[in-house]
Structure 1
Amino acid sequence: MNSTAWDRRSVLRAAGGLAALGALSACGSNTGRPVGGSSGKGLTQYFHAYGEAGTEQAIRRYAKDFGKAEVTTQWITGTNFESKLFSALLSSDAPDVFEFHPQIHMVKARQIVPLDDIIAPVKDDFHAADIASHTMDGKIWGIRMIDDPKFLYYRKSLLEKAGLEPPTTLDALIEAAAKLTTDKVKGLYLGNNLSDIARPMVWSSGAELLTPTNEIAYHTDELVTGLRTLRTLFTSGSLLLDAPADYWDPSAFNQGLTAMQWCGMWAMPAIQKAHGDDVGIIPFPKVTDTGRPSLINGGWSMFVSSKAKDVDLAKEYVKWLWLDRTDYQQDWCLGYGFHIPPRKSLAAKADQLKQGLAAEGVALSERYGHYDNPAFTQAMLNALEGVIADSVRDDKDPEAALDTCDKKVRRELTTLFG
């Protein structure tokens, strides 16, 4: 990966805020553009620019083999994938198919079409959590392509030299970061703005993002305590804060700038190439005694736009590539970085993930992983990550920062659910 590639798990920077959701809801799919029929002779698909070498060539190669239409790929670089996608979905130039995460606001705004008919024959082959996260209003709206757990990577030799065990609590993580910091190496890297650990901070403090009835669940005394603790880490001098690339890129860890780094499973081959067997992984440690370790089971999914020139053709393409062509699905998951195949039959054949560090990663994802909650939209995540910016980086009172977040999230929930 490189610093000009997409900020792969970032919040929406332009079109994904609360105001944008209102615009999306107001727009719906009433554009005057044909939704179905046989008018389309080609298809356009949107992909963010994956950092792993060979991914762009692979997705174009797959598309070229689809014999029923010419498929054009928009490979969107930089950090503006979400803003370009959401702007396009509001326009008459929407992509026919696109990758994103399951988000209920896309359903409420009628921007995507259900895919129950094409996934039905192989539905039971998908991980149950991936089916659940894509099921909204009783229908399945997307096809999961990859599952991406994230961990704390650490150098085994550096912890051993410092007399440390892999940390299991936030306090122990801070202590380890301090002991591992030298003139040349920082103890820990959590990303340049720490935003990606917002959700693990909630889960590891013993809370959830939302209740089963879609009410705020993250605002707890335990999370407030954790945010104050995280502030001490931020000011300790043992946290790497100016890496050349964000957390999703393993270069800081691979170049020896940090002894521990938050990153994803996709980077594991590059990390092992740099450090061999001198690498371990742990989930994000528990924040308080009432919490438990946690990690994000992220990933990307394919959706069909309701504004597709030919919805049936677009669905046929998605079925062909992400349901029928299991060879391409396996190549996409394992040929360029490590991703867990969301289909059980393919995961069973993923020999690369059955031993060593990769097998540990799969086990951690099953034990501690949290999958997408489609009701916790990108705008809500944006607000929650703002709590990290306010209370940890800017030293605002965590209660006040969470109160500000609550107002934004409640407004979003009201828009979605009344």
Structure 2
Amino acid sequence: MTEIDRRRLLAAGGGVALAAALTAGCGSNTGRGDGGSGPGISQWYHQYGEPGTERAVQRYAAAYKKANVTVQWRPGDYDRQTAAALLTDSGPDVFEVNGPSLEQIQGGQVVDLTAEVAPVKHDFNQAVLAPKIWRDKIWGIPQTVDMQLLYYRKSALLEAGLQPPGTLDELVDTAKKLTTKKTKGLFLGNDGGVGMLGGTPLYAAGLSLITADQKVGFDDPAAARTLAKVRQLYVDKSLLLGAPTDWSDPAAFIQGLTAMQWSGLWALPQIQKALGNDFGVLPFPMDGPGGKPAVPVGAYGSAVSTRSKRTTEAKAFAKWLWVERTDFQQDFALSYGFHIPARISLAKHAQQLQTGAPADAVRFATEYGHAEPLLWTNASRTAYQDALSRIIKDGANPESELRSVVRRVNAEIQRVRKK
């Protein structure tokens, strides 16, 4: 998975935009050449950056004996390609999706997979499963979990006589004390955290973007207080800005430009190779009496197109691969890059995730994970992101900014619920 894909999946941006026509000439029709007989099923994946992933998914398809599964690897803007393809008869039967989105579900573009997931529903990471559920039906099967977390340099905190921050106030204080002429205390991205923080500080305050009963989840004074503290990091000049690479790359942390960095789980092997045991990981620290640690998570899902002429066979294959074949699921998560299996039982017993920072990451994702809800539309996201930018970088009043966002999000919720 590329850095852009991960930002799309986990950061404040994302969502699927409809294209006017299917982008042609992308991907390669790998075929199978061996394996089972039976009906032909096409399966699409976005292009992963990790070596070996494409060969792995071809191997999984070849192992299926009840249909002839053809894998397509789709470079380019995959979300736009699939969104457009779902409107035609030339699209995939089974496909990987950043979602499915609410528009795809409400538009009748994806097949109900509730029955396929039901036997193991409880075993999926519930935070990543929740955005794939609409009106009590499951529309996509989570594949692997990606997450963001806070990396800190143990030796830097030890030399300063500091403990790893457990609250947002402590994070602000620690970042300031770790800032020197050569090193900044914290790196949240070259924009000061505007692009990647999203709703994470709200969850750390015990709030949410949208509640379980489909209401605005941050219409609360605690939201403004929390975002004001994030602004304080900027005011204190504790944040690294203008690093050679952005937050998804751990280079600034490894090179000692910052003592703490917010990044993704994908960065952990690179950090471990460079620093050995001289690092630890944390969730975003809790804020306030009602707060709790927060960890943004996301998962691409496997879905089935309603335009498929073989929906029964396609559903059976999706269930076989992402529900029944736990060996393939673990292989996909941990043999090509570094992800967490979407199934809790697999994450708990995977050897690579048993100790140290990887084990901590699994626990954080399970206990504190949150994902963008289905009702969080592009319009809501844009309104919130613009307000967050003005609060952090320009010092705008958090209360007045959030009041405006609450009105916009309320209107969006009412609009999409009517569909």
Residue number in structure 2 paired with 1:169: 167
State the structure with bigger RCO (CA 8 A, min sep 6), 1 or 2.
Answer: 1
Query: 2:332 matched to 1:335?
Result: no
Q: Hey, what does 1:315 align to over in structure 2?
A: 315
Question: Which string of whole-angstrom CA distances, capped at 9 and with x for unpartnered residues, describes residues 5-35 of structure 1?
Answer: 663424556854xxx79x9xxxxxxxxxxxx
Measure the CA separation in 2 of the matches of 1:5 and 1:298. 11
Residue type of the partner of 2:154? K
Could you say if the C-alpha distance between residues 366 and 390 of structure 1 is closer, same or farther in structure 2, counting changes exceeding 3 Å?
Answer: same
Could you say which residue in structure 1 is the equivalent of 2:189? 191
**Deviation at 1:127?**
4.2
Q: String of CA shifts for 1:224-276, please: whole Å, max 9, x gaps.
A: 12222222212333212223443233233233332111122232222211111
Match status 1:291 vs 2:291: yes
Q: Shift of the alpha carbon at 1:383?
A: 3.2
What SS does the corresponding residue of 2:261 show, helix, strand or coil? strand
- Number of paired residues? 396
SS in 1 for 2:403: helix
* Alignment equivalent of 1:114, drawn from 102, 112, 115: 112
Q: Aligned runs of 1:62-81 on 2, under 5 Å?
A: 62-66=60-64, 68-77=67-76, 80-81=77-78
Measure how far apart 1:154 and its partner are: 0.4
Identical positions, percent: 38
| SS of alignment partner, residue 281 of structure 1 | strand
Q: 1:86 maps to what in 2? A: 83
3-state DSSP class of the match of 1:185?
A: coil
Moved more, 87-96 or 301-310: 87-96
Relative distance call for 1:215 and 1:3 in structure 2 (3 A) is closer
Query: What displacement does 1:280 show?
Result: 0.8
Q: What is the CA–CA distance in structure 2 between the aligned matches of 1:338 and 1:130, rounded to whole Å?
A: 17
Name the CA shift for 1:51/1:187 in 2 (closer, same or farther; >3 Å).
Answer: farther
CA displacement, residues 157-205 of structure 1 (integer Å, 9 cap, x when unaligned):
0111122111122232122222222343322111233232222111112
Distance 1:10 1:176 in 2: 24
Structure 2 residue identity aligned to 1:184: K
Corresponding residue for 2:383? Answer: 383
Question: Match for 1:69: what amino acid?
Answer: N
1:204 equivalent in alignment to 2:212: no
Contact 1:46 1:75 in 2 (8 A): yes
In the alignment, is the contact (CA less than 8 A) between 1:12 and 1:82 conserved in 2? no
Distance 1:369 1:14 in 2: 19
1:76–1:386 CA distance, 2 compared to 1 (3 A): farther
Distance 1:64 1:258 in 2: 46
* 1:141 and 2:126 matched: no
2 CA distance for matches of 1:398 and 1:383?
A: 13
Query: Compared with structure 1, are the counterparts of its residues 124 and 174 closer, same or farther at alpha carbon in structure 2 (3 Å cutoff)?
Result: closer
d(CA) in 1 for partners of 2:127 and 2:7?
25
Change (3 A) 1:400 1:310: farther
**Residue pairs, 1:18-417, within 5 angstroms:** 41-47=40-46, 49-66=47-64, 68-77=67-76, 80-90=77-87, 93-96=90-93, 97-101=95-99, 103-193=101-191, 194=193, 195-417=195-417
8 A contact 1:284–1:295 mirrored in 2? yes
For residues 63 and 245 of structure 1, the distance between their equivalents in structure 2, rounded to whole angstroms, comes to: 37
- Indicate conservation of the 8 Å contact 1:103/1:375, yes or no: no
Return 326-335 or 185-194, whichever deviates more: 185-194
Which consecutive unaligned segments of at least 5 residues does structure 1 have? Answer: 24-38
CA contact (8 A) 1:3 1:246 kept: no
Counterpart AA for 1:221: P
Distance 2:246 2:110 in 1: 31
Aligned partners of 2:100, 2:41: CA distance in 1, in Å? 25
* Paired residue secondary structure (1:206): coil
Deviation at 1:56, TM superposition (A): 3.9
SS at match of 1:207: coil
TM-score in terms of structure 2 length: 0.83
- RMSD of aligned Cα (Å): 3.1
Please tell me the residue identity of whatever aligns with 1:76. P
> Aligned partners of 1:177 and 1:214: how far apart in 2?
36
Deviation at 1:119, TM superposition (A): 2.6
1:233/1:397 CA distance change after superposition, 3 Å: same
Q: Contact 1:180–1:187 (CA<8 Å) still a contact in 2?
A: yes
SS at match of 2:7: coil
Q: Separation in 2 of the partners of 1:95 and 1:408?
A: 35
Note closer, same or farther for the CA distance 1:238–1:60 as it changes in structure 2 (3 Å cut). farther
